[in-house]
Homo-oligomer: A and B are copies of this chain.
Amino acid sequence: MRVIFNEEMQAVADDLDHMARNVRDAIHGAGQALTRQDLDAAQTVIDGDAETDALANSVIDQCVVLLSRQNPVATDLRVVVASLRLAATFERMGDLARHIAETARRTYPESPLPPEAIDMFQQMQDFLDVTADRLVTMLADRDTNVAEQIIADDDKLDELHRRTFALAQSPEWSGTNQQLIDVVLLGRFMERLGDHAVSASRRVVYIVSGFDPSKEPARDEGTDID
């Protein structure tokens, strides 16, 4: 996404790239906090979220100025609107990573997870770490193949998420009710991170190809009723 449709969009594209890198770092950091009780990583994610929020506001302000001055039409206009929505998606991903970090900070030096849940959350984190790296590549290179990979792979995260519920109801489960609450919320935050990555990918596909992702069925289907 080095150049979107003209030079006036360059600053917006740069801020979106910056947001994607912040979100990647926040996802990695939240994972460190969650799976390794890394308090510094947790605090960095928590403190860093303000910059991501500020970048989202910056993108919105720049898009408004750009709409006002350039009066883009047709595809160019839809790219601006998609950029506005992409900024909102990244902002939300920053919030979700922060929530994970806050949970890890609260239980430090203990893990919020009972031992039998750690491997499953590590798998979800490994998935999100790959997704986070892909997000940055996708945006920097406007690479729709990477976007399609993110979209296609999200079912794997949903399946891991479902398995946390099964674990919590199995004889293997040893956790307290506080740990079950945290497992449910953490799983939800991670699943939503995956959903938002899919949403971001659809917007990038749209920006690059002109296809309208808002006509796709909404994400966030089904996982929470299983």
> CB within 8 Å of B: which residues of A?
53, 56-57, 60, 63-64, 67-68, 71, 73-74, 77-78, 81, 84-85, 88, 91, 95, 99, 102-103, 106, 165, 168-169, 173, 176-178, 180-181, 184-185, 188-189, 214-215, 218, 220, 222, 224-225
Contacts and interface: CB of A to CB of B under 8 A. Distances in A.
Contact of A77 (B56, B67, B74, B169): B67
A88 B82 CA distance: 12
A178 B173 CA distance: 12
Contacts of A84: 81, 84-85
Contact of A81 (B60, B73, B91, B176): B60
5 contacts: A60-B214, A63-B81, A165-B178, A168-B177, A168-B181
Q: Nearest 4 A-B pairs (CB), nearest first? A: A184-B184, A71-B71, A102-B225, A68-B73
**Interface-central residue, A60, A67, A78, A220, by most chain B CB under 10 Å:** A67
A224 B64 contact: no
Contact of A185 (B77, B88, B169, B188): B188
A169 B67 CA distance: 52
Nearest to A112: B225
